[in-house]
Structure 1
Amino acid sequence: MSAFLKKLLLTGVLLGSTLAAQAAGPLKVAVTDLAYEERVQEYFRSIKASEKSSLRASGRESERESDYSYSRRSSGSLSARSESSFSYEEGTYSYIERGELRKFTADIKGEMLKSGYFQVVQAKPYTAKNTEKLYDVIARIKQGMYPGADYVLFGSINSIEFRQEANPIDHTDTVSHTLSLELVAEFSLISTKNYQVKAAFSAMGEGQDVKLMSSRGGRIVLNRGKVVSEVSKSLGQDVIKQLEEQLAALSGDSLPVRESVIQQERSREEVIIFR
């Protein structure tokens, strides 16, 4: 089957329409920023001290004099009161933090455009203060956050982890310094018309920077930007690969999965040796 007919068949699977409708063009898809949810713990310490005091004094004096006598009387009182309090409290409290990561979606959009099956529609960012509704994609569709889109590709992060390691190489005076990042996210392709999920999968992005340096010392700077770029590219490639495979399975055909030149380049590790 030609690539053109396969493209039409893929479009028909999603739209459930005739071949005439398939010729209308690529599917319009809005790609959301990657949502995340994590539990945050914070340490707190509270010290409260207060003191209150009062002083009250009173006095009375009387004097009496006549032709035959003289008298003088005086009296007084003094009262004092003092109160103090002190409290100390420390511990940790936790809360759920939700939001959207404004990274790692550009290469997903790029891979979708290169496939020729999709037209990317700009989605509105989630700006509401009530983050509990972040994962309610249907409510966001109804609010018009994806104007003109036939489908929404919603992604949420499962795991994201940076690692930095230094490992001596046996029988040498060289140390291998590595900075790596691994990101795993879940994706769902959701129809804006009937809210059905047409595809669902997990995708991974990986990247690393490796430099070798003499154990005699020196300052090593690992390229964080390179690592993030590799993660973004590999995530985009994994997303489009699984998206094509799932949609092809629905059509009962086998769409050609494009070999990634970038993926092959990533397998060739770039090493810089500092002496």
Structure 2
Amino acid sequence: MKQLIALLLLGLAGLAQAAPKVAVTDLAYEERVREYIRIVSAHSQAQASGFAASASSSYNEIEGTYSYVERGELRKFTGDIKGEILKSRMFQLIQGKPYTAKENEGLYDVIARIKQGHFRGADYVLFGTLADIDFRQDLNDIANTDSYSKVLGLTLVADFSLINTRTYEITSAFTAMGEAQDVKLVNGQDIRVTPNRGRVVREVSKALGEDVAAQLQEQLLGNRPADFGNPPGGSPLPADEAPVILR
């Protein structure tokens, strides 16, 4: 019996070793920001010479709008994605390097980031981009009462690509969504009740993580890549560059 248990444990250990390593990025976002500007410049000058005096003045006004593209990483909502991936036992997790370059111009260039060593030790990178995030607040009458329902809702949609760090092939691609709401019943005398924003964010994060893990399993197990589960070999990393593996 002890030998059987030992063999089972060895088998499980072998499966864990065979699991490919994946780095999960924070959700990248890009949005166009518009700002209104108004510049006023006024100048006056007076001169006196003997019995004569002169004065001059100028006034300039410029107004308009300008826009720019803001890029960055949303450092939320990925904790539950990592947790659900760990539960699935499909991957080992590698801690990637946060993107910190100025102006984030290369944020979406995942291939360049792989080549620069941002995901050392990873066989795959799960790259997520924010497609839409929407907070909603509603106050609704409840028929035949003097009460209201106060609703805070949040929907988050993100696009994901699973990229092979050796071949740069997109192994899996999908859109995932997390959605949740908090409802408070209030009477007509007091509508200042505050919905639980933290709980809504937590539930959206969990729902998003479950959706991501489910779609990864569906795509990878249903159409398993030839090299999936057999990570590409390579020379060992120096001790000071060894990847951090989350289990």
Q: TM-score normalised to the size of structure 1?
A: 0.74
Equivalent residue for 2:81?
A: 108
Output the CA distance in 1 between the equivalents of 2:102 and 2:155: 29
Output the CA distance in 2 between the equivalents of 1:115 and 1:23: 11
Q: Over residues 210-269 of structure 1, what are the superposed CA-to-partner deviations in whole Å (9 max), with x where a residue is unaligned? A: 0111122252011000010011000000001111111122139xxxxxxxxxxxxxxxxx
- CA shift, 1:25, in A, is 2.2
- CA shift, 1:46, in A, is 1.3
Query: Is the partner of 1:133 in helix, strand or coil?
Result: coil
- Structure 1, unmatched stretches of 5+, are 1-20, 58-77, 253-275
Q: Give RMSD over aligned pairs.
A: 1.8
Equivalent residue for 1:90?
A: 63
2:45 pairs, out of 43, 52, 77, with 52
Map 1:164-183 to 2 at 5 A: 164-183=137-156
Equivalent residue for 1:137?
A: 110
Equivalent residue for 1:214?
A: 187
Fraction of identical pairs, as percent? 58
1:184 pairs, out of 157, 170, 194, with 157
Counterpart code for 2:33: V
Map 1:216-231 to 2 at 5 A: 216-231=189-204
- CA shift, 1:22, in A, is 7.2
After the TM superposition, which parts of structure 1 deviate over 6 Å for at least 4 consecutive aligned residues? none
- CA shift, 1:44, in A, is 1.6
Map 1:188-267 to 2 at 5 A: 188-251=161-224
Conserved? CA contact 2:71–2:103, under 8 Å: no
Counterpart code for 2:160: F
- CA shift, 1:91, in A, is 2.7
Equivalent residue for 1:34?
A: 27
Output the CA distance in 2 between the equivalents of 1:224 and 1:251: 39
Output the CA distance in 1 between the equivalents of 2:49 and 2:18: 92
Output the CA distance in 1 between the equivalents of 2:65 and 2:204: 34
Map 1:151-170 to 2 at 5 A: 151-170=124-143
Conserved? CA contact 2:85–2:91, under 8 Å: yes
Query: Is the partner of 1:126 in helix, strand or coil?
Result: coil
Counterpart code for 1:156: T
- How many aligned positions are there? 213
Counterpart code for 1:125: P
Task: Pick which of 25-34 and 88-97 moved more.
Answer: 88-97
Q: TM-score normalised to the size of structure 2?
A: 0.82
